[in-house]
Each structure stands twice: as structure tokens, then as C-alpha cells.
Amino acid sequence: MLSTYLTISPLSKFVLIEDCLEHKGKDLLESILRLQAKHSWKIRYFQFEGLFKNRPSYLCYDCVSNCKSWLQGHIDHFVNVVDIKDNTIIVIDSLVHAVHLYGFKTVYDILKRLISKREIFEIVAVFHEDLDNGFLQYFRNLSTFAIQLQPNSNRVLYFYKKPSGKIIRQTETYSTTNNGILTCEKIETVDPKKLVVQAINNPENLATFKIVLNDEEKALRDKVVLPYLYRDEDEKMDGKIFYELDNTDDWDEEDPDDDLDI
């Protein structure tokens, strides 16, 4: 389940939320952070889009109006995040805007360095695939847990990479409450071969009309008097043809071949 893989220990190193205009990932992001806030780890939230909102529970960095920390004029917190020494979770909202500000190579290198650091428990980043300029595939390959939000639905398709290297691919439905509690439900997939076998054994399931009779209908059918009678198949009879002459028929008992002079 999605909620299980989000909380399993050790945490997935790089969680990539791929959202779109028809299915935004803000609610899912808040639910993930709520799950991780139960621990004593620090959460460093880098906000690159929208109206900056300071969250008391996190260390928030305004990368919207204070791009590259130009208001302070000294340390760029995002670039220097790779130098932190305390146990923390990094949040990037959103990755597309970070690439637009710093460039793809810089952001990609920062992520690679963060993934290799033991002090970084997890990186959670949102990527708006509507704004993708060909970079999404590289971040997807770098991620250890890619969550793709399906447009106009509450479905998610995720790829979870286990430490052993095995990849789990799963489609689920999810919902979040007003308190940010995440609930998930697995979508059962149907084997096409089983559907074919069921259709052969139960053809009435494919028909748009009723093709079988119940017991009462079978009893009524047996009472119907048919215009013919069934004959015992074991009874042997020679075939005979009977022909009744009409008044206009010209019938000659003699063989017409007798008149031939050969």
C-alpha cells in the first residue's frame, strides 16, 4: 500500500510526486509530511512557487520572493543544503520552479549529493509534469519512489524501488481528510485469461438479453405440445419416396431407353 511504503523503515530516499493541473499534489504532500512529522527529525521546506506560507513545524525557506537569498545578500540556503549535518527531511515545492531558477544541472547535482548523505533521511519533491521540458525522466530515474497522480481521478500509479533493487509497480486510489490523514485502497486487476474462461463457462454474462431458463420456465416449456413427435433414434427404417401424380403429369411405364436403336 502507498501509506505503507511511505512510512516503512528505512524511508525511501527520494520521493517524487508527479502531479498535473487536473490532479494537484498539494494534499498528498501535506499528508506525507504529516506522517513524517511524528518523528523528531527536522523538516526543511523550500518553497519555490505560490504565496509563501510559513509553517511553524518546519524550517521554511522563501524561494519565491527571496530568490537565491538575494534579500539577505549572503548564504543561498538551497545551494548550501548539501552541507547540513543534522538529521533532516528536505522538501522541494516545486522541482520545476527550482530548475527554472538554478538550471537543471545544478538542481540535479544537489539532489544526487543529498541522496548520498546519511544525514538526509528523505527528499520529497513535487514536479508539475505540465511544465516539463524533458527533465522529468531524469528525476524519475533518480528517484526511489515515483508517485504519478492520474488526471481527473483519485488514482495514483507508483514505482517503489526496494533497497534490494526490486521495483514494485502498483495502482491505487487514495484520499486525504481535512486533518491530512491518508487512506489508500488497492485496485484489483483482472486477468484477461480468466475473463475468457468465465465467458466460455457462463455465456449469459456476455449477452444483452436472457438466454437461460429457470426451473419454472423449463417446466412450462416441457408442457408445450409440439407439431412433431420425436422418434426413437434406434429404430431402423428404409427410406421411401411417395409421389402423387397430378392430372397434367404424363407418366409412361415403359423405359424410354427401349426406343433407342443402337
Q: For 156-171, how does the pLDDT look when each residue is reduced to its tens digit (9 = 90+)?
A: 999 999 988 899 999 9
Is 219 domain-assigned? no
pLDDT band at 186 (very low <50, low <70, confident <90, very high): confident
Q: List the single range of 75-79, 103-107, 115-119, 162-166 with lowest mean pLDDT.
A: 75-79
Q: What is the pLDDT of residue 178?
A: 75
What would the mean pLDDT of 95-123 be, rounded to a whole number? 93
pLDDT band at 229 (very low <50, low <70, confident <90, very high): low
CA distance 147 to 138: 15
Beta bridge partners of 183: 175
Please return the burial class of 107, using the count of CB atoms within 10 Å of its CB with bins 0-12, 13-18 and 19+.
buried
Is 221 domain-assigned? no
Q: Which residue has the higher pLDDT, 246 or 8?
A: 8
Is 132 domain-assigned? yes
Q: What is the pLDDT of residue 205?
A: 66
Q: What is the pLDDT of residue 169?
A: 93
Is 235 domain-assigned? no
Of 77, 98, 90, 95, the C-alpha closest to 122 is 90
Sheet holding 88-93, edge to edge: 59-62, 42-47, 88-93, 120-128, 14-19, 145-149, 155-161, 167-176, 182-186
Is 166 domain-assigned? yes
pLDDT band at 98 (very low <50, low <70, confident <90, very high): very high
What would the mean pLDDT of 237-243 be, rounded to a whole number? 68
C-alpha distances out from residue 9 to 4, 5, 122, Å: 10, 9, 11
Q: List the single range of 22-36, 121-135, 167-181, 246-260 with lowest mean pLDDT.
A: 246-260
CA distance 111 to 116: 9
Is 85 domain-assigned? yes
Q: Domain with 54 in it: what CATH number?
A: 3.40.50.300
pLDDT band at 222 (very low <50, low <70, confident <90, very high): confident
Please return the burial class of 255, using the count of CB atoms within 10 Å of its CB with bins 0-12, 13-18 and 19+.
exposed
8 A C-beta contact, residue 19 and residue 149: yes
8 A C-beta contact, residue 184 and residue 3: yes
One-letter amino acid of 83? D
User: In which domain, by residue range, is 107 found?
Assistant: 2-187
CA distance 28 to 150: 13
The mean of the pLDDT values for the chain is 83
Is 153 domain-assigned? yes
Q: What is the pLDDT of residue 191?
A: 67
Q: What is the pLDDT of residue 77?
A: 84
What would the mean pLDDT of 181-209 be, rounded to a whole number? 72
- pTM here? 0.69
What would the mean pLDDT of 116-124 be, rounded to a whole number? 92
List, for residues 30-77, the tens digit of each pLDDT value: 888 888 877 778 899 999 998 888 888 889 988 888 777 666 666 788
Is 232 domain-assigned? no
Split into its structural domains, the chain has a count of 1
Q: What is the pLDDT of residue 69?
A: 67
